Amino acid sequence: MKKALLYLGIAALFLSACAKTSNPGPNAAAKRYLEAWIQVNHPDAKKTPLGAYILEETVGTGEAPGAVTDNASVRVSCTISTLAGNISYTTDKVLAKQLGTYSETGYYGPVTWRRDKKALMAGLEEQVASMRCGGTRKVVIPGWLMGADAKTGEAILYDTAQEYLDKVSGSTPAIYTIKLEEVIPDIVKWEADSIDRYVARVFPGTTVRDTLKYSYYYKRTGEPSSDKAFANDTTIYINYIGRRLDGVVFDTNIADTAKYYGIYSASRSYAPAKITWYSKDGSYSDITMTASGSSSSSKPIDGFAFALDQMHPHEKGSAIFHSGWGYGSSSPSSSIPAYSPLCFDFEIVDKP
């Protein structure tokens, strides 16, 4: 009965708003519905300058993000739900387990939101820009504040709330619960520092002087059978293990390793991968890989290929590199969040 009255109340408010307002913009109806939902469910919500609604907030006492500068980023914990309360995304491991969506190899913990270069949607940027570290905010963000350019993927940014309403076709509003964990003035340096700490722990005595390129380490862990470089257009075979810097293994072509780390799949073929070297006019970025059981080849990420280019017959080694050598701002799977430094262990083996 209470739910029926609630929906009748929203409908009445919605119809009343329709009668009083004539707005030809693309979000007129959605705006009226959202206002009605807020009035019924959270009449005390605080409306932000761009038109989001803060439902609850615990104000932080730590550092404030400040103005957007080159490489400016933040680390946040975040849960997203519909207005009906259905959770579609969370970085919280405990909550994921409660929801039954937990994955052993999935990443749970703070994620990086880059703020420069129009990387962060207007609705999210407005929130983190006005928070402090340690603070948590539960906010309804309308779809028209989450627009991105279809070609570039850049956030659509305007100066006024009305411009968003008039010019950005919005999707369904969502409730974001955001905790601001850390302010990162320079994401490139932040990744480099994370890698340096990892390498110092895993390979004692290694320092930044051992890098091959900026924030790229290759450490030989097993001697080669020959120091002869691989010939152009040759074919070699490798085993590999990919892991995040927290130690979680997200990929391998070794069956026993996959079973040990709980990522084994009976539908996958586990065997050395075929690597085709580049021609005399090429470089490591032209290396291709064909997984066992596959009929097609693909180019591995640059950090993976560059490591192979350092290796010799039967050598073992580990490559650790920043996300610019990997997946950058994208998240290719639930195991690898954006801006993730990665580690790959390699062994060059005989043809199976």
Residues 186-190: contacts with CB under 8 Å, at least 24 apart: 186/70, 186/71, 186/72, 187/71, 187/72, 187/73, 187/112, 187/114, 187/339, 188/71, 188/215, 188/322, 188/324, 189/71, 190/73
For residue 73, pLDDT over 60 is answered with yes
Supply the pLDDT for residue 104. Answer: 86
Over range 37-50, report the average pLDDT: 98
Q: How far apart are the C-alpha atoms of 94 and 117, rounded to whole Å?
A: 33
Do 35 and 16 contact (CB within 8 A), yes or no?
no
Supply the pLDDT for residue 8. Answer: 46
> Pairing relation of β-strands 249-252 and 235-244?
antiparallel
The average confidence (pLDDT) of the chain is: 93
Total residues found in the chain within this entry: 352
pLDDT above 70 coverage of the chain, percent: 93
For residue 6, pLDDT over 50 is answered with no
- Predicted confidence band at 169 (pLDDT cuts at 50, 70, 90)? confident
- The encoded tokens of residue 290 equal 């064909």
What residues have CB less than 8 Å from 243, skipping those under 6 apart? 249, 250, 342, 343, 344, 345
Over range 66-84, report the average pLDDT: 96
* Residue with token string 């996959």: 258
**Environment class of 80 (CB within 10 Å of its CB; exposed 0-12, middle 13-18, buried 19+):** middle
For residue 2, pLDDT over 50 is answered with no
pLDDT tens, position by position, 268-307: 999 999 999 999 899 999 999 999 989 899 999 999 999 9
For residue 42, pLDDT over 90 is answered with yes
Residue 95: helix, strand or coil by DSSP? helix
H-type alpha helices, 21-138: 28-41, 93-99, 122-129
Backbone φ, ψ for residue 72 (5° rounding): -65, 135
Supply the pLDDT for residue 4. Answer: 47
For residue 27, pLDDT over 60 is answered with yes
What is the b/e burial string over 203-238, where b = at least 16 CB atoms within 10 angstroms of the residue's CB? eeebeeeebeeebbbbbeeeeeeeeeebeeeeebbb
pLDDT tens, position by position, 111-135: 999 999 999 999 999 999 999 999 9
For residue 158, pLDDT over 60 is answered with yes
Over range 327-348, report the average pLDDT: 96
Over range 32-55, report the average pLDDT: 97
Domain residue ranges of the chain, discontinuous segments joined by + = 1-41, 45-185, 188-349
CATH 3.10.50.40, applies to 45-185:
yes
Identify the architecture of domain 188-349 in CATH. Answer: Roll (3.10)
- The encoded tokens of residue 64 equal 């404030």
